Amino acid sequence: MRFIYNILFNFLFGLSSPYYFLRMRRRGGWKQGFGERLGRYSNKFKQSITNRDVIWLHAVSVGEVNICLQLIKILQPKVPNIKLIISTTTSTGMSELRKRTPPEVGKIYYPIDLRSCVRRALVTIRPKAVILVEAEIWPNFLWGIQARSIPHFLVNTRISKNSYKNYHRFGFIFRSLFGGFTGVGAQSDEDAKKLFELGCDKKVVQVFGSCKFDDIEIKREYRVDIPSLLKRLGVKDKAIIIVAGSTHKGEEDILARIYKKLQKKYPDIFLILVPRHQERGKEVGEILAKQEVNFVFRNQISDNIVPEDFGNFECLLVNTTGELKFFYEKATLVFVGKSLTANGGQNPVEPAALAKPIILGPHMENFEEITAKFLSNEAVIQVTDEFELEKAFESLIKDQSKRDALGKAAQKVVRENEGALEQNVSMILSAI
């Protein structure tokens, strides 16, 4: 079984490595920390974990990083003598870690699932426990953990239909891996059922709900004054601000068309467009230009820029990372991306916690349970296509009371579903 997996993985990794490295290069900063992906660490990092018990948390990208940051806030006071480290797979995830993680918390890239890379990582770090956020299953890493009898946990676990299908198809590999977890915090009863079918011991699986509802920082340390920024761009105090967050290919074109139509009826609207991947900034800018939307890139704005430097703007194109949450706070209404033309959706909880009226597309597969809670409480608007999206925007622009009611309902759903983080931490601490 392991032999077959490693033969296949090595072969497929060899084939995909040109694309893998090209993608890393496009995202920038790929050389920094590259050795960590091979299980090689700096002397500074090695010294920080020498003679220390280590708890290793892993987050794939930004969404999981946010949960990890909340987890360590709860864990740190309860395990004061233990060294916490967080790994991530993506450069955007690492950027968030470096911006928001306390200096005493270690930050590394997750090793590539080659047996040699995993072995070097585990021999160096020697974790006392490993915490995986959601369902990030890499066989060599888990085999290495299990061989060393290291307690390991899945938290905020969600099994999508596609993931379930793939794990089930290759059950000869994954069944024993799922069966080895010390504790599993599932998001829903349906997720728990899938976990049982994939091999998890029923004794270790508990349903806590989604940690996404807890993933909100009430007190924020502002790195940018959004109201002042918008004022410098000439945005009026009473302007209707549409924030389209984490958009994907195909959605920006639609949003630009809708914006130009609505602007004829409602001249005081302003669009803040935040693509999910900042490296798409140039591509999205070309789309806006074709639609004759007068925009400015976020990274072109500094404290000394005033509106007359550029003229009258209609759109701010945010080609930076880590600022979406701040723009949400100034939003009159919100569109959650990756839900109209792409599958999966993005997390709607953050704008919901801020009592913002939210519009979603039909594709929220990655947040199915969360979306269902909002829909059952009439706390979001879900549309099926461009036509319905335009109508939803217009209905909310015209009706402030409708916006207020929708936002309050969304915030109520968030408040009623908090508490999963604490329960996941209790599960972990009881087992280590």
- Same CATH topology for 30-210+418-429 and 226-416: the answer is yes
Angstrom distance (rounded) from CA 98 to CA 318: 20
Q: Which DSSP state fits 300?
A: G
Q: What is the mean pLDDT of residues 401-414?
A: 98
Q: Quick one: pLDDT band at residue 218, thresholds 50, 70, 90? A: very low
pLDDT at position 27 over 80: no
Question: Average pLDDT, stretch 125-147?
Answer: 94
Query: Would you list the domain boundaries of the chain?
Result: 30-210+418-429, 226-416
Mean predicted confidence (pLDDT) in 153-165: 92
Identify each DSSP E strand in 285-401 by its residue range.
295-297, 315-317, 333-336, 358-360, 381-382
Residue 107 predicted with pLDDT over 60: yes
Can you tell me the mean pLDDT for 398-413?
Answer: 97
Q: How far apart are CA 107 and CA 87, in angstroms?
A: 6
* 268, 237 contact by CB (below 8 A): no
CA distance linking residue 357 with residue 349, whole number of Å: 11
Per-residue pLDDT of 268-308, as tens digits, reads: 999 999 999 888 999 999 999 999 999 999 988 875 555 55
Question: Does position 50 have pLDDT exceeding 90, yes or no?
Answer: yes
Give the residue-averaged pLDDT of 322-343.
92
Sorting pLDDT into bands at 50, 70 and 90, what band is 228? Answer: confident
- The contacts of residue 431 (CB under 8 Å, 6+ apart) are 151, 153, 182, 183
Identity of residue 309: D
Least confident window among 15-19, 21-25, 35-39, 79-83:
21-25
Please report, rounded to a whole number, the percentage of residues in the chain having pLDDT higher than 70: 92
Report the share of the chain in percent with pLDDT over 90.
70
Alpha-carbon gap, residue 255 to 265, rounded angstroms = 16
Superfamily of domain 226-416: Glycogen Phosphorylase B; (3.40.50.2000)
Radius of gyration of the chain (CA): 23
Q: What is the dihedral of CA 270, 274, 342, 253, to 10 degrees?
A: 50
Q: What is the CATH number of domain 30-210+418-429?
A: 3.40.50.11720
Amino acid at 92: T
Residues 6 or more apart whose Cβ sits within 8 Å of residue 60:
88, 89, 90, 93, 133, 134, 136
Token representation of residue 24: 């890393």
Cβ atoms of residues 173 and 140 within 8 Å: no
